[in-house]
Amino acid sequence: MRLRIPELPLGATPAEILKAGIESSHGPVSLACSFSLEDVAIIDIAHKAGLQLGVFAIDTGRLNEETYEVADALTERYRLKIDWYFPCHENVEKLERAKGLFSFRESTENRVECCSIRKVEPLSRAIKYLSGWVTGMRREQSVTRSDLQAIEIDELNGGILKINPLIDWSEEELIAYSEANHLPKNRLFSQGYRSIGCAPCTRAVKPGEDARAGRWWWENPENKECGLHRR
């Protein structure tokens, strides 16, 4: 059955987007969780709305300790079951033996290769049997996300629904929701890290930079996606 994008009311709330996306998926839906402020907010929204939303995470092997702390806090607070996925260890070993530990800094091609091994391949396993997946992407985050839709057909992942409930939220709205609801927050966020991925590929952003400027900062802005959100 080919899924269809549901109609949403003008100014739909994140809860309304989530509910419409989950109902229209006609099957299991999970959040791809990196334990960002966005993902934590989505978990809280889904919990309060009583929505059936799974949660999976990809452990690339190079995450910050602070990221694991958020995962632990969420598990405790929401009695959450997180489905963890890991890269194929043979592929990681082959890459590091051939090109060393920091080949991703040498070229965009090398960086995409590393992301493909550590993120994209595990993602393909994580969503293989899903009817929809949820992300914390927001239009405001970067130029690569400015044309996102609240709910999309993910043709590159089998035609399942891709649900982006926080698409129109500003960072100010996100922080306000997090603080009002006393949500777990990555300690690095308070140090200027606005988008947190693998430790070697993430730095704090500078004043005036967009949220994802601290990811792969040696590359051009239009290249700064890891491959999880190919379009």
First CA to last CA distance, the chain = 22
Instruction: Report d(CA 121, CA 190) in Å as an integer.
Output: 31
Looking at 114, 115, 198, 226, which residue is catalytic? Answer: 226
Buried b (16+ CB within 10 A) or exposed e, 176-188: ebbeeeebbbbeb
DSSP characters for 29-41? EEEE----HHHHH
Query: Quick check: 25 and 3 in contact, CB under 8 A?
Result: yes
Closest CA to 23 of 45, 4, 48: 4
Q: Is 226 a catalytic residue?
A: yes
| Residues involved in catalysis | 226
